[in-house]
Amino acid sequence: MTCSYARVDIEGAKCGDSLWAFLAAYIVNPVEIMNHISWLWYLPAMFVDFMLTYPLLKWTKRRQAGLPFGRGDVEAVVLQLITSCVWMFISFNVMGDNS
């Protein structure tokens, strides 16, 4: 691995180490990932946005099309509840209890 174009050293791995050393260092220090993906940070954020808003979009399209309330609507509501609960769980575990 060459390191001529950017600083790639992270805590637990340095330039010239194997890929496995870098993966192990990222697992131990996950914050380092955001420091090293540079301008690509928007891709994980965009994925999260899509996952959270898809059920709402599905619900809106069904209402706009005038489809009767049915199984598709129940699936959209359940999917929105599941994704919201998963997002709250992840957020709570990452941010901790600030009370």
DSSP track, 27-74 = HH-THHHHHHSGGGGHHHHHHHHHHHHHHHHHHHHHHHTTPPSSHHHH
Domain residue ranges in the chain: 1-36, 39-95
pLDDT for residue 99: 57
pLDDT digits (tens, 9 = 90+) for 54-68: 888 888 888 899 888
**Mean of pLDDT over the chain:** 76
pLDDT digits (tens, 9 = 90+) for 6-25: 555 666 676 777 778 777 87
* Percent of the chain with pLDDT strictly greater than 90: 1
Greater pLDDT, 9 or 45: 45
